[in-house]
Amino acid sequence: MINPLEEKIDMLTDIKIGRDKALRIFSEIGDNDPIEPQIMQRYFQYYFYDRAKEMDYPLSSRQIGRDDTLLNLLSENNLNCGSNPNSHLLQQSFMEAGKVFKTIDAPTEAIIVPFGKKGRKIIADLCSVVKDFNVKHYYELIKMAQRYSVNVYPNIFKKLFAAKAIHEIQEGEGIYYLNEQFYSSEFGMSIEKVSKADFLNI
């Protein structure tokens, strides 16, 4: 086990708890082999099962307007105000879950760019998918769009939004694409129309 005594991991909650539970195990087992099945079982009891409620990742009303859990948002989502078991639409709140949970806390926004024919086609398909909605096809498009997305910081996002350079693929989706007039195959994304000389390379 690596014991990073000099590392400041207070903000990395799961790593800190994992380290503390491992130290507890080592203090209890003495000279016994730490990878014996019963000892490993005890570690996971401490780390997972004793923290079962935490593992649902509780969310407060301050975060999403009600008390809930990340697990519920991504599974049954029985608190979804539009929940309808007979609906063909997904009940999960993927966008809401994505807003409140970030593995790496980077304050950036993803924007799909019209890179090449493929990038332009993905944007066009996402913008028209509502006409003939298909969950599997929509998911595949979103997955492909990740390869054609760039992350920008809030100040750049605001400039692009003010310049009407970005638009939602569908109203309320929170997924944005870049207007082709603000993209150059030579320079990349621009905060002004590509006919002008000032470019922002991402």
Say if CB 107 and CB 152 are below 8 A apart: no
Q: Are the CB atoms for 126 and 175 separated by under 8 Å?
A: yes
Domain ranges of the chain: 13-52, 56-100, 109-189
For 123-137, what is each residue's pLDDT tens digit?
998 888 765 667 788
Q: What stretches of the chain show up as alpha helix (H) in DSSP?
A: 13-29, 37-47, 52-55, 61-64, 70-74, 94-100, 116-128, 135-145, 154-162
> CA-CA distance, 82 to 96, in Å (whole number)?
14
Closest CA to 65 of 75, 79, 54: 79
pLDDT in tens, 162-197: 999 999 988 877 889 999 999 988 888 888 888 543
